[in-house]
Amino acid sequence: MKWSLNIGKIAGIDLKIHFTFFILLFGVGISGVAAGDPPQTTLMNFAIILALFLFVILHELGHALMARRYGIPTKDITLLPIGGLARLDHMPEEPGKEFLVAAAGPLVNVLLAGVITLGLAVTGFFAQPITSDLIANHFWTQLLLANLILVVFNIIPAFPMDGGRMLRAMLALVMDRVQATKVAAGIGRTLAVLMGVFGLFFNTWLILTSLFVWWSAGAEAESETRKANLKGLTVRDALVNLFYKVEANQPLTAVSQLAMSTGQREIPVTSNGSLLGIIRPADLTAAIQRLGGRAPAYAAIGVEPQGLDPWMPVNDILPRFSECNAQPVIENGQLIGLVTPQSVQQLIWLREHHWPVDPRPSEEKTDQA
């Protein structure tokens, strides 16, 4: 994630802190000073936040280590002011495994809450009369409360919370995954509406959360349907092999004329058939402003994407569109086509309309290997 600071590794997984997290710490400090709190109170608030985020890291680590049991690596764990994010390579699709990976996070907080409760019991905390004032000003009860809130919040059965995935996994035991996702998303949206209405009267923060939950439900259902539609299809099925490209030494004005007259937004730059890189619209305008229209095309190359192998599953390449909308496909060192979000969309459309999209024949794969 952009704007994240690498702070080390935990169990071999990169640990990052998003810079907005420091704004949160800063905000806590400022509001403590503004409220005229004694320094001890502000320090305790800092300590509580740091402990809270330690709990969040352990929660994410729970997901990551459970996923590792099933051979799924985790790219990194990032700490944001709104919580943590463990970027698993993918979610397991078997319902039992998905349930356990999703449940492992909240389970860590249940365990932490248990340990803190035990500690409080051993030190005789519960022997005194428990007042709300005591709970509010006691460091450890605050941490206990924090863990309980993390558990309750995360098991709300709506995407993107862990509870949404747990619900989907349970539904997937009795129906197919796409259907299970749709039902889970419907339940999530119903909860989002309730949350929003509740928020209107009691808490504005809940309104924002409900919008986010509503949006996530739709996004999850959409991504699951797309994955199902693209299952079994490879890059070769999605590639466009009628496209325009320029030679490395052609002038930038020629590139812009080509883009204008063909409507193709990303232009590959080649030299003797082999790909040097891709010029995106923004790269082109920046290069013309900087170097003038007579500069050679290669000077405007903005991305040098890794070429796709024609036999990669289409599902695996979708995240790459965030960097460049035209992903080049390379076979035997030659550029043979481009995969774009539009070409993938077209493939999905054909499949959805029951057009016979058979995976293209794969004989060539054997002689290539």
State the residue for tokens 């923060």.
205
Yes or no: say if 139 and 48 are a contact pair by the CB < 8 Å rule.
yes
Minimum CB separation from Zn ion for residue 83, in Å? 8
Minimum CB separation from Zn ion for residue 81, in Å? 16
Distance between CA atoms of residues 148 and 115, nearest Å: 12
Q: In the complex with Zn ion, which residue's Cβ is closer, 153 or 244?
A: 153
Minimum CB separation from Zn ion for residue 227, in Å? 21
Of 105, 188, 310, 337, the residue at the interface with Zn ion (CB under 5 A) is 105
Q: In the complex with Zn ion, which residue's Cβ is closer, 78 or 270?
A: 78
Yes or no: say if 195 and 206 are a contact pair by the CB < 8 Å rule.
yes
Q: In the complex with Zn ion, which residue's Cβ is closer, 102 or 335?
A: 102
Q: Any residues with CB less than 8 A from the CB of 59 and at least 6 apart, and which?
A: 84, 105, 106, 108, 109, 150, 154
Long-range contacts (CB closer than 8 Å, 24 or more residues apart) made by 112-117: 112/55, 112/58, 112/147, 113/144, 113/147, 113/148, 113/151, 116/140, 116/143, 116/144, 116/147, 117/144
Q: Report 147-186 residues binding Zn ion (CB under 5 A).
A: 162
Minimum CB separation from Zn ion for residue 286, in Å? 40
Minimum CB separation from Zn ion for residue 204, in Å? 25
Q: 313-342: string of b/e by CB count within 10 Å (b at 16+)?
A: ebbebbeeeeebbbbbbbbeeebbbbbbee
Q: Which of 25, 50, 44, 43 is nearest to 138 (CA)?
A: 44
Q: In the complex with Zn ion, which residue's Cβ is closer, 95 or 105?
A: 105
Minimum CB separation from Zn ion for residue 161, in Å? 7
Number of residues lying near Zn ion (CB under 5 A): 2
Q: In the complex with Zn ion, which residue's Cβ is closer, 88 or 288?
A: 88
Q: In the complex with Zn ion, which residue's Cβ is closer, 56 or 116?
A: 56
CB atoms within 10 A of CB 159: 30
Minimum CB separation from Zn ion for residue 181, in Å? 18
Residues in the chain: 369
- Sheet of 246-247: strand order equals 246-247, 267-271, 274-279
Q: Report 270-299 residues binding Zn ion (CB under 5 A).
A: none
Q: Report 32-51 residues binding Zn ion (CB under 5 A).
A: none
Q: Report 313-342 residues binding Zn ion (CB under 5 A).
A: none
The site map against Zn ion for 65-104 (x = CB under 5 A) is: ----------------------------------------
Q: In the complex with Zn ion, which residue's Cβ is closer, 32 or 105?
A: 105
The residue number whose beta carbon is nearest to Zn ion equals 105
> In the complex, which residues of this chain contact Zn ion (CB under 5 A)?
105, 162
